[in-house]
Structure 1
């Protein structure tokens, strides 16, 4: 049984060195970062064309979607010794970018929802946090950010325990923790574990850990602000 806290690399076939983390939110849908398909100047990685028709919910052109590959854990498309991992790479059917007009794109990028071509009923995915008038996640709850760091051409999954710092007006969770070494790839989940309530719950999508090495403060986009998009495009 696979678990949702494992990351995925989303790789363009001509840019397999450009990857991001990701996590299942249903048996067919993955949340990730646009870092895997676009650069810091809002240009598509595949052909260096500028992104057009930017809006709050932007459908990724199919020619870019067809080049996305999703693999488990530390597998890469160059890993010749792990042919099963490469041959079993998952393929995307559609992809949607949320809030493509976000400011400071080069730091935070935007979240992206990917619909896979097939269901994966063997995964376990976390609950998505919804506001409850009778309950608010306490600041004391354990928070972990998951993501990959690149080492010697391969990627290693890491997690970083954090403490809650603040909730900003731009709908980001700001978290602090020990100073991180190598920057992690964006797109992993910000998970909260509160044994007295929901258990393991995803509350954010990592936005800024790929920006700087040795960063102390990180930002994750609040997943609650995309509830309408997740319902409309993912049926979630």
Structure 2
């Protein structure tokens, strides 16, 4: 079974946790695309939910699927957030942001009553770090922010980590990737992250760092699609 089929299997299993009347945070990326398609089928069959998309692409897909969307306000209760991940460790710490939407994803995930992560089995790892860690940074004086990030990495036993701005065609002026919030992303290749919470705190303390792709203490359940069905981690 392909990784894409495993992702769809995980998305279908996550939808078993969705009940009528819920407000859902809807994630971004290739796995979330399957979620939106399958959720749209349930909505057309009579399920009533409200969705809060975490990226402009997810908004577009959800609208096309016929899912009612809502802009959250101070009174909004997000019953459940379902999103993908690039890596998941045994403690349900995550690396997210391969698609560049981790700022919006983390805002919604932190506000949700519960978060379910969906992924193919390759995303289950013993330790975070093989997948590059994305850090969203302010474009103003970004070289100073990068300088501070390098210092923080060295102080967290990651002197050998490499960092580069994510390239992309969205910034016509320089070929640098722009997020939906018009910020840059610095991708950090760490190889291993011994203490995700400490690294997350150190990076977020830097002026100019808007958010990291480390999701620590946020996810409640991970569902991994496999060739034979699904595996779960958490409750």
TM range (shorter): under 0.3
Task: Give the structure with the higher percent strand.
Answer: 1
Which protein has the bigger helix share? 2
Higher relative contact order structure (alpha carbons within 8 Å, sequence separation ≥ 6): 2
Per the normalisation by structure 1, the TM-score is 0.28
Max Rg structure: 2
